[in-house]
């Protein structure tokens, strides 16, 4: 259920409603809108009549939410949510591009890439310090040393940094260095980890599980939202199908469909979604055309020498060219990049 407050309702009225909600055993989460505030009531108290809530001062109406994902639903928040990465708002008119290497390899490599992607127009730097690998003998990342390099790259370029967190016990350490915590496809269903990132305030990029339905994807986001962190970006990164000409099948139709279901910003990862650097450019353009709020792209100075995923990584020059080519396409759909 949600309780919609009247425009101009006072702080005292909002606090009074929150106290009433918590008094009947529900969890109250306040969502700020442009015109009015909404209080999401989490829990199962169907025996309380809606008239009880409608009679409270400052309340416009109380409404049941039918979708299983409550806080992620457009029923709760019809307007788009904007999530700040640094000073850049994902979910607004301008499309944001996050770029950088799949893995942090060394300090000089990372800072050099960060400087070049910033010059090309990226709004944030990505780089993996902890790498979940299918092969246990493959490079697993530099771990905390890699996080230190990311923080230094931020100091030198001003770019907020995005990096993956793999386990609940690492959340506080990663949050100490990073501006945005990423949940990878293998961990979309790690509900303990989702709760842990939901209990800290920094933005979270949640990648769709490689075999997840959209409902399962949104319910994973609900785990984060329900713990109090409303700064969630959804990332479509390709799903596993019978097709084998690409690494995964990048489902661009998921973007406009998700836009109908949820108010959360949606970004697309064409690097993992295809596994082929030659497809990153056209699929990035496709993502912009169908309404994505951002892109997550792997970039390296010399992809042939990248320790991880070189085959799907753009060179810094290819990335610079892509950013130029995205501008007229974004403008054609009423946006900018």
Distance between CA atoms of residues 301 and 317, nearest Å: 8
Burial of residue 34, with CB atoms counted within 10 A of its CB: 0-12 exposed, 13-18 middle, 19 or more buried: exposed
Q: Read off the tokens for 11.
A: 């702080």
Using alpha carbons only, what angle is made at residue 127 by residues 273 and 71, rounded to the nearest 5 degrees?
65
Instruction: Give domain limits for the chain.
Output: 2-63, 83-332
* CATH code given to domain 83-332: 3.20.20.70
* CATH code given to domain 2-63: 3.30.70.1140
215 pairs with which residues across the strands?
none
Burial of residue 166, with CB atoms counted within 10 A of its CB: 0-12 exposed, 13-18 middle, 19 or more buried: buried
Q: Which stretches of 172-224 are assigned E, i.e. beta strand?
A: 180-183, 204-207
Tell me what pLDDT residue 215 has.
Answer: 97
Q: Which of 45, 296, 119 is nearest to 20 (CA)?
A: 45
Integer CA distances (angstroms), 88 to 16, 61, 125, 152, 314, in order: 34, 33, 13, 20, 23
Per-residue pLDDT of 41-55, as tens digits, reads 887 766 677 788 999
DSSP annotation of 160 reads: -
Output phi, psi for 33, to 5 deg. -110, 175
Q: Left if phi > 0, otherwise alpha if psi is -120 to 50, otherwise beta: which for 183?
A: beta
Tell me what pLDDT residue 49 has.
Answer: 76
Residues ≥6 apart with Cβ < 8 Å to 9: 36, 37, 58, 59
| Low-confidence residues in the chain, pLDDT < 70 | 45-47
Distance between CA atoms of residues 252 and 247, nearest Å: 15
State pTM to two decimals. Answer: 0.91
DSSP helix/strand/coil, 183: strand
Burial of residue 161, with CB atoms counted within 10 A of its CB: 0-12 exposed, 13-18 middle, 19 or more buried: buried
Q: Left if phi > 0, otherwise alpha if psi is -120 to 50, otherwise beta: which for 165?
A: beta
Integer CA distances (angstroms), 115 to 121, 181, 312, in order: 10, 21, 21
| Burial call 203-232: b when 16+ CB within 10 Å, e when fewer | bbbbbbbbebebeebbbbbbbbbbbebbbb
CA dihedral (154, 156, 159, 164) positive or negative:
negative
Residues ≥6 apart with Cβ < 8 Å to 278: none
Tell me what pLDDT residue 140 has.
Answer: 80
Per-residue pLDDT of 266-281, as tens digits, reads 999 999 999 999 999 9
Q: Read off the tokens for 169.
A: 């016990």
Tell me what pLDDT residue 45 has.
Answer: 63
């Amino acid at each position: 259920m949600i309780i919609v407050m009247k425009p101009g309702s006072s702080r005292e009225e909002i606090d009074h409603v929150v106290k009433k909600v918590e008094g009947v055993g529900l969890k109250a989460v306040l969502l700020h809108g442009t015109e009015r505030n909404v209080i999401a009531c989490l829990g199962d108290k169907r025996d309380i009549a809606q008239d009880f809530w409608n009679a409270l001062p400052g309340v416009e109406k109380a409404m049941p939410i039918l979708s299983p994902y409550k806080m992620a639903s457009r029923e709760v928040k019809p307007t788009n949510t904007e999530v700040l990465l640094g000073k850049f708002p994902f979910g607004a008119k301008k499309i944001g591009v996050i770029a950088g290497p799949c893995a942090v390899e060394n300090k000089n490599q990372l800072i050099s890439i960060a400087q070049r992607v910033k010059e090309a127009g990226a709004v944030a730097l990505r780089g993996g310090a902890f790498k979940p690998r299918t092969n246990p003998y493959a490079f697993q990342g530099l771990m905390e040393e890699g996080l230190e390099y990311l923080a230094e790259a931020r100091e030198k370029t001003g770019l907020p940094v995005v990096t993956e967190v793999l386990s609940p016990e690492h959340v506080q350490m990663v949050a100490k260095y990073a501006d945005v915590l990423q949940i990878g496809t293998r961990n979309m269903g790690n509900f303990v980890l989702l709760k842990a990132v939901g209990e800290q305030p920094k933005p979270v990029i949640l990648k769709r599980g490689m075999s997840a339905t959209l409902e399962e994807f949104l319910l994973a986001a609900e785990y984060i939202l329900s713990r109090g962190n409303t700064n969630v970006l959804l990332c479509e990164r390709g799903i596993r199908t019978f097709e084998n000409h690409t690494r995964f099948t990048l489902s661009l139709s998921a973007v406009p469909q998700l836009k109908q279901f949820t108010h959360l910003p949606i970004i697309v990862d064409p690097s993992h979604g295809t596994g082929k650097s030659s497809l990153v450019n056209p699929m990035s353009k496709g993502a912009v055309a169908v309404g994505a709020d951002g892109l997550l792209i792997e970039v390296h100075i010399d992809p042939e020498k990248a320790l991880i995923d070189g085959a799907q990584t753009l060179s810094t020059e290819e990335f610079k060219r892509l950013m130029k080519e995205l501008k007229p396409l974004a403008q054609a759909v009423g946006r900018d990049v």
